[in-house]
Amino acid sequence: MPARILVISTNREISPQPVVPIGAAWVAEALSLAGFEVELLDLCFCQDPLVAIGRALRTFDPQGIGVSVRNLDTCDFLSPHSFLPEVKTITDFLKVHSAAPILLGGSAVSVMPSQILEYLDLEYAVVGEGERAAVAFFSGLLRAGDLAAMPGLVRRRKRMGAGANVEFGAAGGAPPSLPAAVTPVTHKWVDTRRYLGLEPVLPVQGKRGCANRCLYCTYPGIEGREWRMREPGAVAEEIAAAMRDTGARRFEFVDSIFNQPEGYLELLLEELLKSGVKAWLSAASLSPKGLSREQLLLMERAGMESMVITPETVSDPTLQALRKGFSEAEVMHAAELVAGSRIKALWCFLAGGPGEDRSSLERTARFLSRKVAGKDAAFITTGIRIYPGTDLQHLAIEEGVVEAGDDLLMPRFYFSQKVAPQEAIAILRNGAGSCRCIFPSDARSNYLRPLRRIGTMLGLPTPFWRYSGVLSRLSGARRMVRRFEDAGPAGKI
């Protein structure tokens, strides 16, 4: 009898949208191909996660448990919230009700494995992708004491002080090479209907890794510092299978940067066209660097209807401080190209980066008012979450924002000392003109989930951020009602 492995996806956050647990599904598929009997428990829509876990423990009786943690917290500077206490409730429950060994994984764990293992009082975790490490771990290789043979695995030692209490498997815990034999079949493991009911888009990943060196980013630690591309034909097959088996017609590429490295975008989209896949596509992250008219035309031909572009700022000094690898002129050029295409763009900005001041914020506001209009919108966050091991952490220590001994397990943020956060928000809101700007508070609105459900029922075109103007008006009306109610019977505002 094959060993039974229960994989648990702990992510329950649905704002700004629920995220299909493709990483957990990929690991489940790898374990299944290796001969294990696998069940994936997705907690996203569970009203009581512990009840669902208890039921799975009784009915499936796992001999090994994989726990996936996607996010540490909301990364919201103005309203931070950590997800780790809820994860600890889950892992504590598992330890009480099951003797099965637990392997921790997920992107949040890859960011700070030492701190999370300590916080959750667990022994083993995976850094990077877990397909090979999970198979090796649950195959019992560790009983031979051969940790070095298990790429990506880390083991907690006894407490030795901050940042020094894990030992790594092969390659220092760096992500292993992308498994060529494992093609994710997300709908086999996850009830994709629940996700499609809120926004009819399924994720797909064409490559992993990131060769950029942005000041604040955790992608290199999670996926590796080099691009690792999947075979375009395998990606096309995955999309075709999902269309056939789920009825989905829209797919979002969740690669770290969709238009890098140079040439892969063309290979991938040409393969989709050649294979006859007729789906609506979107991309979760594009760089302004190197974006060309020819690429946009190819994206249109392949069915790309929307994309997220991540300049973070348009000011050269702030771009350089963030180590984005492109200039204000390149951002402007990309904006001109995008304006002339049929593809809708969501421009993402980080307010408060190193060197940010009134002048740089005003440049961003002018860009929003002049370049982001009509079909496009902007998403603006304030403050940058500080993660261990990033150059932003070193800068924050130098500037006295955090202490050298801060484990950063709970959310800590960097914000330029040259401008106050509320002043920054006011400059952007007031200077953006008619640009549809979305702030994190809008993404948490109580109106968002019913709007998504209504949009899906009516078959409205995605992405749903295009309706941010409606959301803003509803939020504004709600604020006016509250102000009227707070004023009392006289109705004075």
Burial of 174 (0-12, 13-18, 19+ CB in 10 A): middle
Assign residue 108 the CATH number of its domain: 3.40.50.280
Burial of 251 (0-12, 13-18, 19+ CB in 10 A): buried
Structure tokens at 366: 């002018």
Residue 430 pLDDT = 92
| Identity of residue 2 | P
Examine residue 182 and state whether it is found in any structural domain, yes or no: no
Kindly state whether residues 253 and 337 are assigned to the same domain: yes
User: End of a domain among 138, 173, 208?
Assistant: 173
Kindly state whether residues 412 and 470 are assigned to the same domain: no
113 Rama sector, left if φ>0, alpha if ψ -120 to 50, beta otherwise: alpha
> Please, are residues 255 and 205 in contact by the beta-carbon 8 Å criterion?
yes
Kindly state whether residues 322 and 432 are assigned to the same domain: yes
Closest of 274, 282, 287, 277 to residue 323, by C-alpha: 287
Kindly state whether residues 99 and 223 are assigned to the same domain: no
Q: Are strands 202-204 and 250-253 parallel, antiparallel or unpaired?
A: parallel
Examine residue 46 and state whether it is found in any structural domain, yes or no: yes
d(CA 100, CA 134): 14
Kindly state whether residues 428 and 450 are assigned to the same domain: no
Examine residue 33 and state whether it is found in any structural domain, yes or no: yes
Kindly state whether residues 43 and 120 are assigned to the same domain: yes
Residue 1 pLDDT = 67
Examine residue 81 and state whether it is found in any structural domain, yes or no: yes
379 forms beta bridges with: 348, 438
Burial of 306 (0-12, 13-18, 19+ CB in 10 A): buried
Find all residues with CB under 8 Å of 45, minimum gap 6, and list them: 12, 18, 194
Query: 295 — phi, psi (to 5°)?
Result: -65, -45
Find all residues with CB under 8 Å of 343, minimum gap 6, and list them: 296, 299, 300, 304, 305, 306, 307
Kindly state whether residues 357 and 229 are assigned to the same domain: yes
Find all residues with CB under 8 Å of 214, minimum gap 6, and list them: 322, 323, 324, 325
> Please, are residues 283 and 258 in contact by the beta-carbon 8 Å criterion?
yes
- Give the pLDDT of the chain (493 residues) as one tens digit per residue: 679 999 999 999 987 778 999 999 999 999 999 999 999 999 999 999 999 999 999 999 999 999 999 999 988 898 899 999 999 999 999 999 999 999 999 999 999 999 999 999 999 999 988 998 999 899 875 554 566 567 788 988 754 444 446 555 543 444 444 445 577 788 999 999 999 888 889 999 999 999 999 999 998 888 888 999 999 999 999 999 999 999 999 999 999 999 999 999 999 999 999 999 999 999 999 999 999 999 999 999 999 999 999 999 999 999 999 999 999 999 999 999 999 999 999 999 999 999 999 999 999 999 999 999 788 999 999 999 999 999 999 999 999 999 999 999 999 999 999 999 999 999 999 998 888 888 876 655 554 555 555 454 445 455 545 545 545 544 544 443 343 334 443 333 2
* Buried b or exposed e, range 327-352, using 16+ CB within 10 angstroms: ebebbbbbbebbeebebbbbbbbbbb
Is the sign of the CA dihedral 112, 114, 116, 119 positive or negative?
A: negative
Kindly state whether residues 106 and 246 are assigned to the same domain: no
Closest of 251, 292, 254, 291 to residue 272, by C-alpha: 251
Kindly state whether residues 155 and 63 are assigned to the same domain: yes
> Please, are residues 217 and 225 in contact by the beta-carbon 8 Å criterion?
no
Kindly state whether residues 102 and 209 are assigned to the same domain: no
Residue owning tokens 């695995």 = 153
Residue 449 pLDDT = 54
Kindly state whether residues 311 and 246 are assigned to the same domain: yes
Residue 149 pLDDT = 62
Q: What is the dihedral angle through the alpha carbons of 364, 367, 369, 370, rounded to the nearest 10 degrees?
A: 170
Find all residues with CB under 8 Å of 108, minimum gap 6, and list them: 69, 70, 71, 72, 83, 116
> Please, are residues 68 and 24 in contact by the beta-carbon 8 Å criterion?
yes
15 Rama sector, left if φ>0, alpha if ψ -120 to 50, beta otherwise: beta
Its domain, for residue 34, covers: 4-173
Kindly state whether residues 427 and 278 are assigned to the same domain: yes
Question: What is residue 464's DSSP assignment?
Answer: G
Examine residue 192 and state whether it is found in any structural domain, yes or no: no
d(CA 390, CA 399): 15
Closest of 242, 38, 272 to residue 135, by C-alpha: 38
Domains: count for the chain: 3
- Angstrom CA distances, 275 to 183, 208, 283, stand at 17, 23, 20
Examine residue 428 and state whether it is found in any structural domain, yes or no: yes
* Buried b or exposed e, range 405-415, using 16+ CB within 10 angstroms: ebbbbebbbbb
Examine residue 180 and state whether it is found in any structural domain, yes or no: no
Examine residue 421 and state whether it is found in any structural domain, yes or no: yes
Assign residue 245 the CATH number of its domain: 3.20.20.70
